[in-house]
Amino acid sequence: MKTTNVISQLALEESVIKTMAATLEESKTAIAAEPVESRVLLRKVSWKTYESLLEDLADCSAPRLTYDRGDLEIMSPQAKHENASKTITLFVGVISEELQIEIQDLGSTTFKREEFERGFEADVCFYIKKADLVRGKDRLDLPADPPPEIVFEVDITGSSLHKDSIFAQLGVPEVWRYDGENVEILIRSGDGYRKSNVSAALPFISTEVLENFISEGRTLSRLEWFKKVRAWARQQSMPA
């Protein structure tokens, strides 16, 4: 019986590796004419296999992995997905500079907790009040290190996993979710999240502001877009 279980696990891991290879190849050939994400969901994947894949992909920006108690989602981001993530990164960077707010951008860092058997790679994540606690670190280890204060998630095709429960259990206080057109701001409430029109961490930012600047990031020249963001930022103030 034990031998059968070992063979089954090896077969599963071989399947995971083949799927990863195919997804990586797809990531390399993705072009702007295909502005969506490609997602694959595998079940009954061990935590050990998940961690091995994270190690193997440590220096890769894609694909991205989400793990939830044996379910592994492999997502290959393509043009529209990456454009939105880059736009938000630049947007928050301008705000940080113009308003003199210390914000640490940790991109698509991996966050995981073995005791919960859950983990995710953010599209973009930010530290604000806790920026000093993570600055200069090459790797974070929850719960010794704090979770990001804002996670920005691009979910155009619809994730197969219920990520909100993963974010909540790992302690993420705020999520910005973009579906290709609209933005939701989700604020931690109890064991889940409630929708809000404005950010809790950066109260001068609303869903409308995020949607407008993401949309304009696709249509304006980069220099024109930067000018608009800077002009807007200079009119804002951070509450005391």
What would the DSSP string read from start to end of 29-51? H--TT--S-EEEEE-S--HHHHH
% of the chain residues with pLDDT over 70:
82
Is the confidence at residue 22, as pLDDT, over 60? no
pLDDT of residue 139: 86
pLDDT of residue 73: 94
Residue type, 138: D
Residue 83, helix vs strand vs coil = helix
pTM score, whole prediction: 0.83
- Would you give the DSSP letter of residue 172? -
When the pLDDT of each residue in the chain is averaged and rounded to a whole number, the result is 85
Q: What would the pLDDT profile of 93-146 be if each residue is shown by its tens digit?
A: 999 999 999 999 998 899 999 999 999 998 999 999 999 999 988 889 999 999
Backbone angles phi, psi at 158, to 5 degrees: 95, 115
Is the confidence at residue 226, as pLDDT, over 90? yes
Mean pLDDT over 16-45 rounds to: 60
Identify the band that residue 32 occupies on the pLDDT scale cut at 50, 70 and 90: very low
CA distance 14 to 45: 11
Mean pLDDT over 154-164 rounds to: 83
pLDDT of residue 219: 93
pLDDT of residue 33: 43
Is the confidence at residue 162, as pLDDT, over 70? yes
Mean pLDDT over 198-214 rounds to: 97
Identify the band that residue 157 occupies on the pLDDT scale cut at 50, 70 and 90: confident
% of the chain residues with pLDDT over 90:
66
Order the strands of the 104-105 sheet from edge to edge.
104-105, 124-127, 150-154, 174-178, 183-189, 192-196
User: Could you tell me the domains of the chain?
Assistant: 2-233 (3.90.1570.10)
